[in-house]
Chains A and B, each alone.
Chain A
Amino acid sequence: MSNPTPSVGPGLPETQSLATDTVTAPAPPQPGKKAKDAKPASLWSDAWYDLRRRPMFIMSVIIILILLVMSAFPWLFTSIDPFDARSCDLSTARQAPSAGHIFGKDNLGCDVYAKVIYGARNSIIIGVFTTLVTTFIGSLLGMIAGFRSGVVDAVSSRFTEIFFAIPPILGALLIGATFRGRINSIILVIAALGVLGWPMTFRIMRAAVITAKNQDFVLAARALGAGAGRIMLRHLLPNSLAPVIVVATINLGGYIAAEAALSFLSVGVQSPDISWGLMIADARTRFLEAPLPLFFPAAFLSVTVLAFIMMGDAVRDALDPKLR
């Protein structure tokens, strides 16, 4: 049986079957589960060797590097500071692209190009930090649930299902609307996406730990008197990490797209901060009259998501020897 790709949508990571764990037949294998056959060191070096020769990977890394430079030093790309009100001239609103303003002007007469460049930073920050948060919470809880089994596992699995069952965008919309204005909007987006995003990692980690914990080297460590913490940290974690990393890489792109969706629903980044989603939302009112202020941030957003998903795809292929 084949394995449905862990999916990332224009929203949040999708859910997988609620109860594959209660089915007696073998559950669909998780990506990279076969990694257990290889020794950790060779798995990683093999993967790296493999990655370096994939054009998709190289391309995505180049795009991501450019984006990183753009977020760190946006002034290298444009001389206009979009945070300076004097750069906007309302009477030139929705002007078509010209030599000085290659992407034209938005509804407030501000330069679209400069805003797109400066908007990269928040997208990258939100993508990276949401991934870190979900990976950390999901892995930690998943490992404990998988290792402890019994009541702990049952309770935490039900608990996870609650978060799984709430449609992610709707849930994030609610959380965003509740706390908007009370805390920093970027932290809020990370928190809202994080709260609803971790169950995915939880499931993958839990499945990987359950497989790993019955293997000889774990049993041996236990026989030698290793504590639970040591077993989890030294033996289970390294052996269950591959699938988690794959999902994290792919999800990163999904979170960047989700930020845009939330900003579009006005619960994401708030002005005067700049984000691509916010630019899309603002341009929307005059979209049919002046589509360009919407298209440029949309294009940057798509390319960014594409780059991260391409990278994730490549990493998955590299870490999953079966597909090699």
Chain B
Amino acid sequence: MRVTKGARIVAGTALLALAVAACGSGASDGGGTAAGGDETPVRMEIGEPQELLNPQNTTETEGAEVLAAVFEPLVNYDENKEPVEAAAESITTTDSKVWTIKLKSGYTWHDGKPVTAADYARAWNYAANQDNAMSSSYFFGRIDGYEDVHPGEGKTPTTKEMKGLKVVDDLTLEVTLSAPFSQFKTMLGYTAFYPMPEVALGADGKITQAYGEQPIGQGLFKVDKPYKKGTDQSIDLTVYDKFPGTKPTNWKKLQFKIYTSSETAYNDLQADNLDIHDSLPASTINSAKAALGDRYFDEPDAAVGYIGVPLKYNPDFKNVDVRKAISMAIDRETITETVFSGTRSPADDFINPAIPGYRKGACTACTYNPAEAKKLYDSAGGPKSIELGYNNDGGHKEWIEAVANNLRANLGIEVTPKPFEKFQGILDALDSKEYKGLFRMGWAIDYPSAENYLTPIFGTGAIETGSNYGGYSNKEFDELVAKGDQASTPEEGLQFYQQADDILLKDLPYIPIYFYRSNFGHSTKVKNVKLNLLNQVNWAEVEKA
């Protein structure tokens, strides 16, 4: 997932340690006792969604935040960061390959029709089909039959349905994966896996503009009126009365206010013109701590920031000591404190603390040690001048300059920060051999598993199709990850993943710099605001003060 605005440009699917009691199945049918009269809505800050509101085409946080209120996911995440059934009654497997998803009965679409297993199959088949150009298509790559609907560039899909998806009855869906994957259940809380009602598709079999403007979901809130992207300054929602889960106790209306600047939103929050702000920028943190007091929260977030090393492209960095020396020359502590004002924390592992599997201090080369760094760098014969690429659109300039200053001062080398328009520009330049320097890289997970920090970024298979931009390849690492995938339980899998992590810590293919933090605050008008593991507010628990 990606994030669209400044400070949290990568802090996408933020998973919070502060988890939430997953909405219970025995929820009371209560709620709905709104304070009556002319109710002011609960107002939540978002940036402008990048696309229209279509779950299968939403892979950035702003749109996902809105859709999470309109749709109920199959699973939520509990305080141990484990997936817990939400719209699903049960999700079971015996071999991590064939998964049976049973749906809870009682869920209806906002137009009154019941939700069926076919609605899930429809959504997933639609998203995976390359002709539909949905940005979430890669999420379905593990399902058997993905190649038939997504054969690749220049080829035409041979069918519209993946053979791995089988609707057993109205409430049962059987999913067969092309290979065992022990973490499949954790993926299902993600936006891309929301179902799709039949009315979403027009006569031509494509999602209609009307659905994108006013999606029909099966979640807690329904959308009041079509959203005119680019023009509308808010998206207004109302509690759906027939929603079977928990509802907020004393309010019914929710408004997402669209801001172009998170500083502006912070001003509004202080003035009580906004109730919840979940992306407080670094420049407001000191003020927010003082002004909001116990209404300010600072939680770990699952995203990671690295300095990427072009192992495949530049022999200068082949020697692991060069990479270690660079890592030790970077003062993560001061950078996270001064540049980010604590909206990041120093990285000390490849796995983020918000996810099971993190080990504190695992990365010994991540400790600041300028003297040792200089010694190591000189004896390893590191390059005398290096470039440091970054994309200009994500507020990275300042910390990259700070890293550059660290390297210049501590290693005595020449460092040139090199701005690119977009992150993609760096990748293109690497591919075409125009650029051979270090580059910044961020990773926001797609699903809450330690595996997600390993395979997509460092697996050999990810060089061509994934995000292994540096071209790191280690057979032992690949094997350990594969063992983890095939493990019969997630716990067993984790052990293998941690062994794979150990190899990364030894090889340092990328240099971890910081972990993201989630900084949010709320106004005096609401209380009991908690973010769930995907950094989305748990609306049922929010109360008006």
Contact = CB atoms under 8 A, between A and B. Distances in A.
A272 B401 CA distance: 9
Contacts of A285: 282-283, 395, 398
Nearest to B405: A85
A90 B418 contact: no
A272 B405 contact: no
B405 A270 contact: no
Contacts of B401: 108, 271
A282 B398 contact: yes
Given A85-B408, A91-B338, A108-B402, A288 B283 contact: yes
B409 A85 contact: yes
Contact of A109 (B338, B404, B416, B418): B338
Interface string B398-431: 1001101110110000011111110000000000
Contact of A90 (B283, B395, B402, B421): B402
B291 interface: no
| Interface of chain A: mostly helix, strand, loop or mixed | loop
Contacts of A272: 416-417
B398 A108 contact: yes
Contact of B409 (A86, A107, A181): A86
A271 B409 contact: no
B286 interface: yes
B533 interface: no
A230 interface: no
Nearest to B392: A266
A177 interface: yes
Of A90, A177, A282, most buried by chain B (CB within 10 Å of CB) is A90
A101 interface: no
A107 B405 contact: no
A108 B401 CA distance: 8
B495 interface: no
A286 interface: yes
Contacts, number: 59
A265 to B, nearest CB: 11
A93 B399 CA distance: 12
A106 to B, nearest CB: 10
Contacts of B409: 85-86, 88
Contacts of A86: 408-409
Contacts of B408: 85-86
A235 interface: no
A108 B335 CA distance: 9
A289 interface: yes
A270 B420 CA distance: 11
A177 B397 CA distance: 16
Interface string A272-300: 10000000001001111100000000000
A270 B283 contact: no
B421 A180 contact: yes
B286 A108 contact: no
B334 interface: yes
A170 to B, nearest CB: 17
B45 interface: no
B334 A90 contact: yes
A289 B397 CA distance: 19
A82 B461 CA distance: 45
A177 B334 contact: no
A41 B23 CA distance: 91
Nearest to A83: B408
A181 B397 CA distance: 15
B338 A90 contact: yes
A93 B338 contact: yes
Contacts of A286: 283
A241 B335 CA distance: 55
8 contacts: A85-B408, A108-B405, A271-B401, A272-B416, A272-B417, A285-B283, A288-B283, A289-B287
3 tightest CB-CB pairs across the interface, nearest first?
A: A85-B408, A85-B405, A85-B409
Given A90-B335, A181-B420, 7 more contacts: A85-B406, A88-B409, A90-B334, A107-B338, A108-B402, A181-B418, A285-B283
Interface of B: 263, 282-283, 286-287, 331, 334-335, 338-339, 392, 395, 397-398, 401-402, 404-406, 408-409, 415-421
